[in-house]
Amino acid sequence: MKYILSASILSADFSNLEASIRNCEQAGVDWIHIDVMDGHFVPNLTMGPFIVETCKRITNLPLDCHLIIEKPENLVRSFIDAGADSLTIHPENNPNILRTLGFINELGCKAGVAINPGTSHLVLQPLLPFVDLVLVMTVNPGFSGQSFMPEMITKVNETARMIKGQNKEIRLQVDGGINASTIIRARQAGADAFVSGSAIFDHPDGINAAVFALKKGLG
């Protein structure tokens, strides 16, 4: 499978979101990653369906929506109506995850499951038949600009092995602290989709140079 680079707009310049996204497109970013936070699941409050709808008007790149929220089932339909191409939800504090994944599938959207650093990859096993993407968080979610947790490499490795045992194409994504060097370690561990925020939008030489450096790490 081709490697996917997803730019997390949490780090983008919101005073000119359109220019930031267009710059990502031109630089060769594959997906746009939208971090939705509710101030409950994580101590930060970010974007809602309105931002997804705005991004949809700016770009044709797939919108990779990461719902870091409680009760995602209440918002699934709104995000899909707004133009989300995939919705990734968390199993932590979510007894209804399988039902919600089924609901996302029924609505014709790609479904993903994301696990926090403190969550074992073993929770993924019963969920794999119902997802197109697994996201192993490499920081505690909430903010851009945190350092990659090297302790997560083993989890990426073991998750890659679990995915291989399935009769299905499932992407293995990493998110948090991905830069030109950690992207190589994550790829070697078996990841094939990479979210990057600050390493793209805060690069001193601009978005083009940042994406070039990240893609170089993907070979």
Task: Please give the residue ranges that form the binding site for Zn ion (CB under 5 A).
Answer: 35, 66, 175
User: Based on CB atoms, which residue is closest to Zn ion, 66 or 155?
Assistant: 66
Distances (CA, A) of 28 to 7, 107, 148, 151: 10, 29, 23, 30
- Minimum distance of ligand DX5 from residue 91's CB (angstroms): 15
Residue nearest to Zn ion (CB): 66
Please select the residue that binds ligand DX5; options are 196, 203, 214, 217, rule is CB under 6 A: 196
Distances (CA, A) of 165 to 112, 158, 203: 17, 11, 38
- Minimum distance of ligand DX5 from residue 106's CB (angstroms): 26
Distances (CA, A) of 111 to 29, 72, 126, 191, 196: 21, 12, 14, 17, 20
- First vs last Cα of the chain: how many Å apart? 13
Sequence-distant (≥ 6) Cβ neighbours of residue 139 within 8 angstroms: 117, 146, 147, 148, 149, 175, 176, 177
Q: How many CA atoms lie within 13 A of 54 on its CB side?
A: 14
Taking alpha carbons only, the member of 54, 11, 13, 19 closest to residue 35 is 11
Catalytic residue among 30, 35, 132, 192: 35
Catalytic residue among 64, 132, 175, 192: 175
Using rule CB under 6 A, residue 139 touches ligand DX5: yes
Please select the residue that binds ligand DX5; options are 59, 146, 157, 208, rule is CB under 6 A: 146
* 81 is known as an active-site residue: no
Using rule CB under 6 A, residue 178 touches ligand DX5: yes
Using rule CB under 6 A, residue 171 touches ligand DX5: no
Taking alpha carbons only, the member of 52, 40, 64 closest to residue 114 is 64
Copy the structure tokens of residue 166.
Answer: 């399935």
Using rule CB under 6 A, residue 190 touches ligand DX5: no
Interaction mask 51-70, ligand DX5, x per CB under 6 A: ---------------x----
* 175 is known as an active-site residue: yes
Q: Name the residues annotated as catalytic.
A: 35, 175
Binding region for ligand DX5 (CB under 6 A)? 8, 10-11, 33, 35, 66, 139, 141-146, 175-178, 195-199
